[in-house]
Structure 1
Amino acid sequence: MEIYLIRHTKVAVEQGVCYGQKDVDLAESYPIELEAVKEKLKGIEFDAIYSSPLSRANKLATDIYGDCVIADERLMELNFGDWEGKVWDEIKDPLFPAWMEDFVNRKCSNGESFVMLNDRVTKFWNEIKSKDCNKIAIFTHGGVMRTIQAIHKNIKLEDSFNEPTPEFGEVVIIPV
C-alpha cells in the first residue's frame, strides 16, 4: 500500500498568526497551486481519498476529486484553543510560557497538546492501514503530516520537529 499525504496550499494569513483549527481562506495563488498539486497527482488512481474537514484542505481535495472525498475530523490541525487567530508574539495567556517549554505534553488554553493530536491521528492511521487498498490520498495539514511521519518512522514526538516541515502543496508518499 502507498499512502499519499498532501498538505493544503498557502493560506491568506499573515506571517506569525496562530491558525491551527481556525478555518482560514486560501491565498490568491490558490488556482496556480491547485494546478501544481493536480500535476503531482496526475494519473494516480486512489482507492480512497480522505481530507481534513477544514476548508483549506477539503477544498483542495474536492476541487481535484469531487464528492468522493471523505472528511475526517481526526485529520484536522492542532487545536490551539483560545490562541486561534492571534499573533504568536502577542499571546498573553499565563499558560503560554509553560506550553512553549513543553508543547508536546501541555495543551493550549481550551485546545490540545501535540500528544492529543498524535492520539487522534494514530487512531486514524491504524484504521486506514488495515484497509485493503493499493493507494490512499490524505489531504491535511503540516502538523498531521509530521505526526503520521513520526508514527511511520517510529520517531518520538519530541524528536519529530527535527524533521523538515512539509511545504504547502507538498505530496509525501509513504509505503506501508
Structure 2
Amino acid sequence: MPAFTIWRHPKPRGAQGRCIGGRTDLPVDARKAKRLAHRIRAHARRHRLPREVVTSPLQRAAAVGRWLKRWGFHWHVDTALAEMDFGAWDGRAWADVPPAAFERWMADFNGFGFDGGESLQTLMARAAAWQPPCALAVGHGGWITARRWCLERKGQAPSPDAWPAAPAYGRATSSAPSAA
C-alpha cells in the first residue's frame, strides 16, 4: 500500500484538563466534524484518491467518517486506530492524578500500564503493526505520534523529554505503511 494520510480528529467537548484516551468516548461539535470531512473530501479529490476512509470507533473520529459516508465514501471502522488506553487514569482530571503515580509513569515511560491500561510500548507496537486498508484515515493524537515515532526513530525507546507533541486537532499527517 502506498503512503496514507491520517487526520487527527476535531477537538472533543469536555477534554480540557483531562486525561483522555481510548476509554473516554467524548463527542465533537458536528460542525467541526463536517468541516474536517470537507477537508478530507477535498484532499481525496485533489490527489485522485478512492472515496474510502477508515476511522477509530471513538465518537471524536467516527463523526467525521459518518459525514464522509453521507457523501458516498466507503467508511471502515478499525479498533486498532483507537487512542491509547490510559486505564484508571482515563477520563480523570490531570490535577487529580497523584504526583507519585505520575512519577511512576516518568520512571517507566515505555512500560507503565496506567493502572490497568495500555503501556506506550504496547501502543507503539499496535500503531507500527497497523496496515492501512485505504489512503485516508482519522485517528488520535497519541496513536499518530506513536506511529510517527516508530517510523522515524526505529528501535529507539522514547523518553519523556524526547516524546513529541501530538499533532493539532484536524491536522493531517502523511505516513508510509510500516514494514512490521
- So what's the TM-score if we normalise by structure 2? 0.79
Structure 2: unaligned runs, 5 residues or longer: none
Larger helix percent: 1
- Aligned-partner Cα distance in 1 for 2:125–2:18: 25
- So what's the TM-score if we normalise by structure 1? 0.81
Name the counterpart of 1:34. Answer: 34
Q: Which AA in structure 2 matches 1:89?
A: A
Matches within 5 A, 1:134-153: 136-153=135-152
Matched residue SS, 1:5: strand
2:53, 2:137 within 8 Å by CA — same for their partners in 1? yes
Structure 1: unaligned runs, 5 residues or longer: none
Matches within 5 A, 1:76-115: 76-92=82-98, 95-115=101-121
Matches within 5 A, 1:52-63: 52-63=56-67
Which of 26, 39, 55 matches 1:24? 26
Name the counterpart of 2:167. Answer: 166
Coordinate RMSD, CA, aligned: 2.6
- Aligned-partner Cα distance in 2 for 1:151–1:142: 14
- Aligned-partner Cα distance in 1 for 2:106–2:95: 12
Structure 1 residue 50, shift from structure 2 partner: 1.5
- % same residue: 22
Corresponding position: 1:68 with 2:65: no
Structure 1 residue 136, shift from structure 2 partner: 0.9
- Number of aligned positions between the proteins: 167
- Aligned-partner Cα distance in 1 for 2:111–2:85: 14
